[in-house]
């Protein structure tokens, strides 16, 4: 059953990633990958809320499998982040590449921490 929940979540997360990425990127006239950064930070926040809720017993393991592993796993993308960072560097946009690496990691970890903190405050 858990594998089915993960697959269903991933089936929702992958197209959601594509749609959010395209919508965000269309609003910016820049080579900076704002769409990928957005989905990674958003997914980290959602996963933080789920894990924080699970830690205090307010979120079930099934919901963590469906939304956390499935949806957030497909929504976020470390491989695209890596590729886009290297592409920026190779295209001569070294400052943008360093900014992408720094802001993506910092914001995603911060969002996960914020999510856990919010969940524990709400459900503890």
* Long-range contacts, 90-95 (Cβ 8 Å, 24+): 91/31, 93/31
Q: Which residue has the tokens 């957005």?
A: 38
Asked whether residue 13 is marked as a ligand-binding residue, the answer is: no
Q: What angle do CA 113, 119, 120 make, to 5 degrees?
A: 90
Residue pointed to by tokens 């080579």: 31
Give how far Cα 19 sits from Cα of 16, 26, 33, Å.
5, 11, 14
* 106 marked ligand binding residue: no
Cα–Cα distance for residue pair 43/115, rounded to 1 Å: 10
Backbone angles phi, psi at 91, to 5 degrees: -80, 5
Binding residues for Na(+): 73, 76
Binding residues: 73, 76
């Amino acid at each position: 059953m858990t594998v089915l929940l993960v697959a269903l979540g991933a089936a929702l997360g992958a197209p959601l990633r594509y749609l959010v990425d395209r919508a965000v990127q269309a609003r910016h006239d820049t080579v900076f990958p704002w769409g990928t950064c957005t989905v990674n930070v958003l997914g980290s926040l959602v996963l933080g809320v789920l894990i924080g809720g699970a830690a205090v017993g307010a979120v079930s393991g099934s919901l963590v499998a469906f939304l956390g592993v499935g949806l957030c796993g497909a929504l976020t993308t470390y491989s695209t982040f890596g590729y886009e960072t290297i592409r920026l560097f190779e295209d001569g946009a070294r400052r943008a590449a360093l900014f992408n690496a720094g802001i993506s990691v910092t914001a995603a970890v911060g969002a996960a921490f914020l999510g856990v903190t919010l969940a524990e405050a709400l459900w503890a």
